[in-house]
Amino acid sequence: MKVKCIAIDDEPLALEQMERYINQTPFLEALGAFPSALKALEKKEMSEAQLIYLDINMPDLNGLEFSKYVSGNKKMIFTTAYEQYALEGFKVDALDYLLKPFSYDEFLKASLKAKEYFELIEKATASRPAADHIFVKSDYQSIRINFDEILYIESMKDYVKIFLKGKHKPIFTLMRISTMNNKLPSTHFMRVHRSYIVALSKIESVERSGLVINNTHIPIGESYKQQFTDYINNG
């Protein structure tokens, strides 16, 4: 298998080295490299990545703070020049920790650990029947939502609104849209904007500036347009 990954580091030389290491490792697939955690946070590559190589000591939003916004099915390998951060890194469930400057051999050992982890997850997932629903917390209760009931999902900062077929009011739940996106099967749902996920089977029409579901116009973000266009062109 190939592990999809991104790298985040505010030091240009360190980021360049990380890109080089990733590109020369056959089982890694580079999705992008970013000079700050804030720039990576809402990128499409961030939602698709399985593994994040992440510098800890960065301005604005450091690696440990950034990890709080990362959904549980993504894993991190921290990189830093400060050994005292190692314990903090493992407290947020990092897979490994690389102390700068590190060699390709050290990078490869940490990356192989990630590969083994995702292979185990893949095997476990393959042995389970495909899920057809999720549970979300709303109004102090856990509500079951069947995938085939979902029309679209809209982000409201740290909350999402889930619009359902036949329901006049959406369900609100405390969850970032990137986390929700990772919980939904990519064969049936697509993120088309930083604020919207749509059920592909519920699309009624496609317009120049967006799409329509249940008579509601939903915009398509510039960074998501190519993926959506490919889907439409492939039928």
Task: Tell me how far apart the alpha carbons of residues 170 and 227 are, in angstroms, rounded to a whole number.
Answer: 27
Task: Tell me how far apart the alpha carbons of residues 6 and 8 are, in angstroms, rounded to a whole number.
Answer: 7
Closest CA to 97 of 105, 67, 87: 87
Question: CB–CB of 54/64 below 8 Å?
Answer: no
**pLDDT band per the 50, 70, 90 thresholds, residue 84:** low
Q: Give residue 111's identity as a one-letter amino acid code.
A: S
Structural domains in the chain, sorted by start: 3-126 (3.40.50.2300), 133-233 (2.40.50.1020)
pLDDT in tens, 97-151: 899 999 999 999 999 999 999 998 888 766 666 678 999 999 889 999 999 999 9
Q: Which residue is listed with tokens 């690696």?
A: 63
Task: Tell me how far apart the alpha carbons of residues 162 and 197 are, in angstroms, rounded to a whole number.
Answer: 9
Mean pLDDT of 19-37: 95
Query: What is the DSSP code (8-state) at residue 129?
Result: P
